Structures are given as structure tokens and as C-alpha cells.
Amino acid sequence: MPELPEVETVVRDLRPLLTGRRLASGKVSKHALRRPWSKAWAARLAGRRVEEVRRRGKWIVIALDDGAALVFHLGMTGQLTVVPAGEPVAGHTHLTIELDGGGQQLRFRDVRRFGSATLFPDAAALGRFFEVLGLGPEPFDLDPAAWRAALGRTGRCLKAVLLDQGIVAGVGNIYADESLFEARLHPARVARSLSAAEADRLRKAIATVLARAIKRRGSTIRDYVGGSGRRGGYQKEFRAYQRTGRPCPRCKTPIEAVRLAGRSTHFCPNCQRTPESVLTSGY
């Protein structure tokens, strides 16, 4: 599933391609996405100008000039790109919106159809949606004291905490593993066992890893491409994720994998060593 760096890359690609453009007619496939598309939305979109393209967590927000917002979630295999109108339409393209005079199109393709496209009528409706989701702060905006307090309130393992979108928005399986490796913290460590210094180290590691991944346009494991159709490159720089049995880039100890919080989890047993007394079973 695309995580923050991939979604941020799509947003940065789309921003110059969409800002100031007017949306024209749209076409929806007969196959439903995770959220049903309303026919009334197509009429409301027609003629609207794109004011802003931004990200919130793993969500892409296209703000329109009448206060409405077209919001996408890429799910597991979603691709949101701007392409020439004459380019052949790939299979599993579920939403096509013409831009300006029709020379280009915004296309949403999703093979597994876990993604979504939703039109919110105004900022209040969008705000309520994110509030119901319970999205936590952005990783680059984590308040040190609030972050330490959030870790101190839970007996869950660090891997589970980083996957919790209510604690920090946008981090998923890949960047949880990479951030914990960067911070030299075992993924099964009980969150509330961290010292203030360790909590701060993890907070900084998350921001460092995400910024590094954004610079490389995210990670393409299978389907992900940016808004311009280009693939990511950070998968070539993984330190821990999917490197089971390969040498740690720091100490050469083989990377190990366990299952934590329902996800495959990768770590260095030497660099991320921690006392048994502060490990958890990982839920």
C-alpha cells in the first residue's frame, strides 16, 4: 500500500499539472471502488477550477474553487496520473476527468479496487471526515512532548504504534521498519518503556526516513507510480524492510523477520537489540 512518501510524490507531481486547470466531463467505470461514486458529483465537478493539491496522511486532496474537495485514497494499487487524452486507457481505469479543453485527462486506475474517489461539498464536510477517521498529526509536525506522552500511554509494541494512524498519520509497514532501524530500536519494544531521549530519537528518525524516501520518489514494490507515471526509487535503499537474511548495512549481522501487529517486520538483531524485560508479544 502506498505510504506517505508515495502519496506525497503523487501530490508533488500533480500540483503543477492540475493547479489552475478546469475540470470538464468525467467518465466512471461500471466497477465500484471502496466508496461508491455518485453521479451527482460529476455534474458538480464540471467547470470547477483546481485551487490546490495537497496531502493529509495517505489521502490526496484536490481543493476546488467552490470550496468542494475531490479526495483520493490509493488503496493498495491505486495510480492517479495526468496523461494525454489520446493515450490508450489502461485496464482497471475507474475514473477519467477531462482537463480544460480535453487535451489531457486525470485518470485513476486501481487494479484491486481498494482505493476511493470522493467529493466533499465543503471544508467542513472534509474536516468531519478526517475527524471521524481519527487521523493523528503529520510525522513532520510531531510535537516532542505530545509524542513522548503518546508513547508513554501505551503498552503496545513500537511497530503497532507506528502503524496506528491516530498516533502518527501516513506511516505504514515499510517506513515503520525503516524508521525503527534508523532509530536503533527493536520493533517489539514496549512503547512506554522508551526514555525521553529514545522517544525523541524515534521521532527524528521517522522524519529523516520519510524525507529521504520522498527525495527518491517513494518506493515501487509492484504497482506504485507517481502522478507523472514515473516509478519510485527508494526500494533500492532499504536498510531493513524485505532484507531478511541479508547483511545489516551497519554491522553485517543478517536481518531477521518476525510478525508483529499482523505485519511482517524486519530488523537487525544486533543494532536493534533490547532487553527481554521491555519486549512485548506484539499486537
CATH assignment of the domain containing 143: 1.10.8.50
What is the secondary structure of 124-141 as a DSSP string? Answer: HHHHHHHHHHT----GGG
Same domain for 19 and 120?
Answer: yes
Q: Is residue 10 domain-shared with residue 76, that is, in the same domain?
A: yes
Residues 108 and 162 placed together within one structural domain of the fold: no
> Which among 34, 204, 263, 269 is annotated as catalytic?
263
Domain shared by 84 and 190, yes or no: no
Range of the domain at 51: 4-133
For residue 225, the one-letter residue type is V
Regarding whether 165 and 85 lie in a shared domain, the answer is: no
- DSSP-derived 3-state class of residue 106: strand
Assess whether 129 and 214 both reside in one domain: no
3 annotated active-site = yes
Say whether both 109 and 143 belong to one domain: no
Q: Is residue 2 among the annotated active site residues?
A: yes
Is the sign of the CA dihedral 246, 250, 256, 262 positive or negative? negative
Sequence-separated (6 or more) residues with CB below 8 Å from residue 17: 82, 104, 227, 228
CB atoms within 10 A of CB 248: 20
Instruction: Please check whether residues 42 and 157 belong to one and the same domain.
Output: no
The residue from 48, 58, 148, 217 that is catalytic is: 58
* Judgement on whether residues 109 and 154 belong to the same structural domain of the protein: no
Reading the block at residue 94, the C-alpha cell is: 475507474
- Residue 283 placed within a domain: no
Per-residue pLDDT in tens (0 to 9) along the chain, 283 residues: 799 999 999 999 999 999 999 998 778 887 878 778 888 888 899 999 999 999 999 999 999 999 999 999 999 899 999 999 999 999 999 999 999 978 999 999 999 888 999 999 999 999 999 999 999 999 999 999 999 999 999 999 999 999 999 999 999 999 999 999 999 999 999 999 999 999 999 999 999 999 999 999 899 877 777 777 888 888 999 999 999 999 999 999 999 999 999 999 999 999 999 878 788 754 4
Domain-located, residue 115: yes
Q: Hey, what's the cell of 157?
A: 509494541
Do 171 and 188 lie in a common domain?
yes
Q: What are the Cα distances from residue 67, in Å, to 19, 35, 63, 71?
A: 14, 21, 7, 13
Instruction: Respond yes or no: is residue 8 known to be catalytic.
Output: no
Which is catalytic among the residues 3, 6, 182, 198? Answer: 3
What DSSP character marks residue 191? G
Number of domains, the chain: 2
